[in-house]
Amino acid sequence: MMRLAIMMFAAGASLSSAAVAQSGDDYSFTGPRAEFLAGYSRQLPSVRTSGPVTTISQAQRHSGGSAGVQGGYDLELGPVVVGVFGGYALLTSQGCGTLGGANQGCLRPQAEAEGGARVGFQVAGRFLAYGKGSYVNTRIQTSNRNGAVIANSHINKDGFRVGGGVEYAVLPRVYVKAEYSYTRTERFNAAPYGFQNTSVSYHDHAGLVGFGIRF
């Protein structure tokens, strides 16, 4: 997935050669937009335990892919660009721990929906540097094996995201981008999912590249 994202970004950047003859004034960051994003996600679960019942494995760093779509609307106010957006992404990272005895339990963030706003500054005509903040709802798959019995369920947890990135207009209505974001979910009690005396909060660091179109 990461290789596909890099190839997509490089292909989009190569389109800039077709627009060399156009003035930077032709590139607008105003209007509705739609984009595809993909890249690398690093999940860092923050696990708190109490009492002797539960022992969580020490491997609390999990890597994986992230891919999704986003739509939004931007408005130029001189050199400043403000906008709102919403998106949905799928995640492949996962985390498992060892419970009391031979039981095994896993918590796997699978998908996330977000909505928020961003503020940016137009640089050198074609570049937009921006910061963002958003609300995020993460869908987490839970599974617990007790002998031959496996119990599966899903939970949805709220959180927040902050980040920033750079967009480059390769054509008047086509752009590529690179973005970093940090996401944190609310802490929740994991006892109903097999992790007795345990609470979990997820911290996610993601690096993404994207390709978008303005309408």
Enter the pTM of the model: 0.78
pLDDT tens by residue, the chain, 215 residues: 545 444 544 444 443 444 333 444 567 899 999 999 999 988 887 777 776 655 554 445 678 899 999 999 999 998 999 999 999 999 987 666 555 444 566 778 889 999 999 999 998 889 999 999 999 999 988 877 665 556 677 889 999 999 999 999 999 899 999 999 999 999 888 877 777 777 888 889 999 999 999 99
Q: Considering the domain boundaries, does residue 201 fall inside one? A: no
Q: Considering the domain boundaries, does residue 95 fall inside one? A: yes
List all residues 6 or more positions away from 110 whose beta carbon is below 8 Å from its beta carbon: 90, 91, 139, 140, 141, 154
pLDDT the model gives residue 136: 97
pLDDT the model gives residue 125: 81
Contact call for residues 198 and 205 (beta carbons, < 8 A): no
Q: Considering the domain boundaries, does residue 44 fall inside one? A: yes
Encode pLDDT of 15-25 as tens digits: 344 433 344 45
Q: Considering the domain boundaries, does residue 86 fall inside one? A: yes
Q: Considering the domain boundaries, does residue 174 fall inside one? A: no
pLDDT the model gives residue 96: 65
Q: Where does the chain show beta strands of DSSP type E?
A: 31-49, 62-77, 80-91, 95-98, 104-123, 127-146, 149-171, 174-185, 188-189, 198-214
| 156-160: Cβ within 8 A, 24+ apart | 157/185, 157/186, 157/188, 157/202, 158/185, 158/186, 159/135, 159/183, 159/184, 159/185, 159/186, 159/202, 160/133, 160/134, 160/135, 160/136, 160/184
Q: Among 117, 31, 35, 30, which Cα is nearest to 71's?
A: 35
**Which letter does DSSP use for residue 11 in this model?**
H
pLDDT the model gives residue 170: 94
CA-to-CA distance for 145 and 200, rounded, in angstroms? 19
As to burial, measured by CB atoms within 10 angstroms (0-12 exposed, 13-18 middle, 19+ buried), residue 147 is: exposed
Q: Considering the domain boundaries, does residue 40 fall inside one? A: yes
Contact call for residues 182 and 136 (beta carbons, < 8 A): no
Domain limits at 108? Answer: 2-13+30-168+181-194
Q: Considering the domain boundaries, does residue 200 fall inside one? A: no
Q: Number of structural domains, the chain?
A: 1
Q: Considering the domain boundaries, does residue 79 fall inside one? A: yes
